[in-house]
Amino acid sequence: MHSDNESDLEHHELVRKIIDEMDPDSKKALNSWYWYDWANQAFALTVITVVVPALLSNMFELATGGGTEYGSIKITGDTFYAVVLASSSIFVAIISPFLGAIADRMPIKKKILWIYTLVGVAFTALMGVAPHIEGDSSYKFLAVCLVIGNIGFAGGNVIYYAFMPYLADRRVMDHVSSWGFAYGYAGGSLLLVVHLVVGITGFFGMTSAWSPWILTFVFVTSSLWWLGFGLPLFRNTPEPQIPKPTQYHSMSEAALDGIREVRKTFGEIRKFKVLAIFLASYLLFYDGINTINSMSTAFGDSVLRLNPTMNFVLLLTVEITAIPMTVVGGKLAGRFGTKRVLGYALGVYSVVALLAVGFAPLELADDHERYDFQYDYNEETEEYDLTTLYDKGVKGWVSKTGGGDEAFRVAFFPYMFDSMSEGERWSDDDSVKESISIGEATSLTEAMGGMTDHRFSFSFKGGGLGGMSSVGQEHPTIIEGGLADWWPNLVRDKVWQPLNFGVNLQWIMLGMMVGVVMGTAGAQSRSMFSMLIPASRTTEFFGFFGFIGKAAAVFGPIIYAIFAATMGSRMAIVGVVAVILLGWSLFFMVDLEEGIEVARQADLEAGHVL
């Protein structure tokens, strides 16, 4: 034990010494690189992880009435989001290796990153228009902006990662990578707190909570945060030096050279056997990790019907937990080894995925406040007043024309609306009955008992009808018909229900577990990859790293969408677990020491000294 402590102390002293001895310009360049992680986490956390998944899922389900069926396939909100997310990564997956090969021959990394950044910033701001568009066009416009905005974010990250090996000694890559991730989580968390406060308070009472203008504020401030805090990198971090830059006479010539280099790298990858094994493992386990992180909010909205605020709280919990744990993960990697720490992190992710399959809302029973449509007896008016779950209103829950809600509209709208307009979109002319008489309430309860082929729930409290309730067969608390549904029912009956552990607490537990290992998994993957590649070809190989990551970002959501559409969303999570476990098993075949030595020899042969 004594020798381990000595080794740990020596490592930290070495890291501190190397960092302290860096010249001021180098420290400034490194810190500015950190700040870009702080900047673009506004998109990674608030936009693509918290707001857009739930918003796009909700818009789609509201427009379609809970989803669209094509034969035996049903596209729900989370499935639709998965397809959109996958399509946004295809461009980056294709273009990253070629841009990486070109950037290794020309000093254009900062120019490429600047273009990606401006694209991402612009389309993040444009997302703020979507909440003000009515009808089907709203989710379609948001989907297009998401695709292009994510190209800016994901494509930029490929180039951004390629700066890392040039910023400090290779012996401190664990430290640099971990602190970069920690900056990102801190920046994303701070902005998320601002958005959470403004969203809940409605600009401190100036407008309603989570109104279209609040969402516009969220998107615009996210874009400004990304741009503003990203500028130090472009000012202070120098373009990495290229020993023998190539001059091209045209973009087509550069592109052809990039294609030739990619083909050459594919041919030479056999020389880097350990790196190839790691990349195959990374493709699989990152596929699972990326899918869990990307789909969690849409899953929570579409499958669990969580309070939108809880999605903010979940991701805020994840980020706050990840800030110190990412730094701790870097220190643990220095002491116990990058490979061991990353392996444990992947194990935790597998447990998290299994728990996600078992998440289930508790049965509603007499919990009046958890029903979608709550009717409370008013003794003064002798009528039943309507309140809706999360104060979304009838128009916020039910589709006006979507096929999925047609039976519900026929059975219940006569008791819920005074008048209906002819248009396909909700308007002010569609007048909701905020109160109904005892006679209407009696007729409504009779209709509730006769028609349950829908996705909503009703409850009456007080008066002669108090205790009357109805739950539709497609409500989130009704878990049946799927291959994996035995597991959430078992866990709910044996664990969640006895402990009175509601889905919100289940959700927070997921956030805590993910937060413990999320930063470590990302940082140590990036760090381990930087150790296995020749320093003379960093951008080219990081282009492949980006390609693998974006390939996972494409295939992961597609796998989720296929499983969700054919076998249900919980089976989609089961598929994710299988992918993580496969990548995890392959990961233990990586011989890190051998891979580092092969990369060093390649640098010596190329005459490159870092």
3-state secondary structure 356-386: HHCCCCCCCCCCHHHCCEEEEEECCCCEEEE
User: Of 431, 450, 471, which residue is a domain's last?
Assistant: 471
User: Of 417, 451, 471, which residue is a domain's last?
Assistant: 471
Assess if residue 480 is contained within a domain.
no
Whether 450 contacts 437, CB under 8 Å? no
- Tell me, rounded to whole angstroms, the distance of Cα 284 from its chain centroid: 17
Kindly state whether residues 228 and 109 are assigned to the same domain.
yes
C-alpha triplet 607, 524, 25: angle, nearest 5°? 60
How many domains does the chain divide into?
Answer: 2
User: Of 448, 471, 494, which residue is a domain's last?
Assistant: 471
Q: What is the largest CA-CA distance in the chain?
A: 89
Predicted confidence at residue 223, as pLDDT, reads: 97
Kindly state whether residues 378 and 311 are assigned to the same domain.
no
Buried b or exposed e, range 391-430, using 16+ CB within 10 angstroms: eeebbebbbbbbebbeebbebbbebbeeebeeeebbeeeb
Kindly state whether residues 343 and 377 are assigned to the same domain.
no
Q: Output 338 or 123, whichever has higher pLDDT.
A: 123
pTM, entire model: 0.79
- pLDDT band at residue 160, thresholds of 50, 70 and 90? confident
Task: Look at 432-446, 454-468, 568-582 and tell me which has the smallest mean pLDDT.
Answer: 568-582
Q: Give the Å distances, CA to CA, from 56 to 49, 77, 148, 409, 420.
A: 11, 7, 15, 23, 26
Q: Looking at the DSSP assignment, which residues form a beta bridge with residue 450?
A: none
CATH number assigned to the domain comprising residue 191: 1.20.1250.20
Kindly state whether residues 154 and 216 are assigned to the same domain.
yes
Kindly state whether residues 550 and 429 are assigned to the same domain.
no
Whether 338 contacts 520, CB under 8 Å? no
Predicted confidence at residue 27, as pLDDT, reads: 92
The pLDDT tens digits of the residues spanning 74-91 come to 888 899 998 888 887 777
Kindly state whether residues 83 and 112 are assigned to the same domain.
yes
Kindly state whether residues 450 and 550 are assigned to the same domain.
no
Assess if residue 478 is contained within a domain.
no
| Nearest to 159, CA basis, from 500, 545, 471 | 545
Share of the chain above pLDDT 70, in %: 90
Report d(CA 246, CA 112) in Å as an integer.
17
Assess if residue 372 is contained within a domain.
yes
Token code pair at residue 594: 């051998």
How many CB atoms are closer than 10 A to CB 337? Answer: 16
How far separated are the first and last CA of the chain, in Å rounded? 34
Kindly state whether residues 425 and 513 are assigned to the same domain.
no
Assess if residue 265 is contained within a domain.
yes
Predicted confidence at residue 579, as pLDDT, reads: 86
Token code pair at residue 234: 């472009």
Whether 345 contacts 515, CB under 8 Å? no
Quote the domain boundaries for residue 396.
368-471
pLDDT of residue 136 exceeding 80: no
The pLDDT tens digits of the residues spanning 481-505 come to 888 899 999 999 999 999 999 988 8
Kindly state whether residues 457 and 528 are assigned to the same domain.
no
Average pLDDT, the chain: 85
The SS3 assignment for 505 reads helix
Kindly state whether residues 444 and 341 are assigned to the same domain.
no
pLDDT of residue 389 exceeding 80: yes
Kindly state whether residues 142 and 288 are assigned to the same domain.
yes
Assess if residue 531 is contained within a domain.
yes
Assess if residue 578 is contained within a domain.
yes
Assess if residue 316 is contained within a domain.
yes
| Beta carbons within 8 Å of 419's beta carbon, 6+ residues apart | 429, 430, 431
Kindly state whether residues 345 and 453 are assigned to the same domain.
no
Assess if residue 9 is contained within a domain.
no
φ/ψ of 392, rounded to 5, equals: -80, -15
Q: Are strands 435-436 and 73-75 parallel, antiparallel or unpaired?
A: unpaired
